[in-house]
Homo-oligomer: A and B are copies of this chain.
């Protein structure tokens, strides 16, 4: 009896050990310096053995990315937990997103920047992280709109994208170290966040309508749909 079950337990245990070894290497030595042989050495198996637990190296990193999304979701939840004000919740959440890019460089790069794990681009939207976290953030955005802190024409889903993708820019520049020595990526991130939130305030966008039209009529922009504001 119970043989199958024990075999399955053993398999799960080894699978877990592989992920642990890969994660340790990954966070200390960086994404690019993890090799199947190094992982194998850590768990004291041959490199070939790993291939009966993961079809390829990419699949290990896909699993680690999933882990990263859980980590980030937990981090965001913890950050926002004791804050009642929707605008403060948004600020703190977005700032935590940026901070995560520094405290978990390798995870972050894997999750949002890297192109070398193709399956991540494909299955990105499937992570439940996005359902939960975006729903919460959109509710906060909606609350800010209801309170009159943000423009009433704002589309919460599109606005949330604008916010986190903006912060992604700051995170990317911080990770890739493309700033001059004197320039502080944290200050830049903060200014970026301030500017974006300011941009959502009621009645601002109308001052731009004239030049927007000029711009949108140019050849530079092909799409004519606007997702940020409701129709």
Q: Residues of A at under 8 Å CB distance from B?
A: 32, 79, 85, 87-88, 91-92, 95-96, 99, 109, 112-116, 120-121, 124-125, 149, 158-159, 161-162, 165-173, 175-181, 183-184, 186-188, 190-192, 194-201, 204-205, 207-208, 211-212, 214-215, 218, 220-223, 225-228
Contacts and interface: CB of A to CB of B under 8 A. Distances in A.
Given A162-B192, A218-B92, A187 B112 contact: no
- Highest count of chain B CB atoms <10 Å: which of A88, A161, A166, A180: A166
DSSP majority for the A interface? helix
B95 A221 contact: yes
Q: How many copies does the complex hold?
A: 2
B112 A211 contact: no
Given A166-B166, A166-B195, A194-B205, 20 more contacts: A91-B211, A92-B215, A92-B220, A95-B220, A112-B176, A114-B176, A121-B176, A124-B179, A125-B179, A161-B191, A162-B191, A165-B188, A169-B170, A169-B172, A186-B223, A187-B225, A190-B226, A195-B195, A198-B200, A199-B204
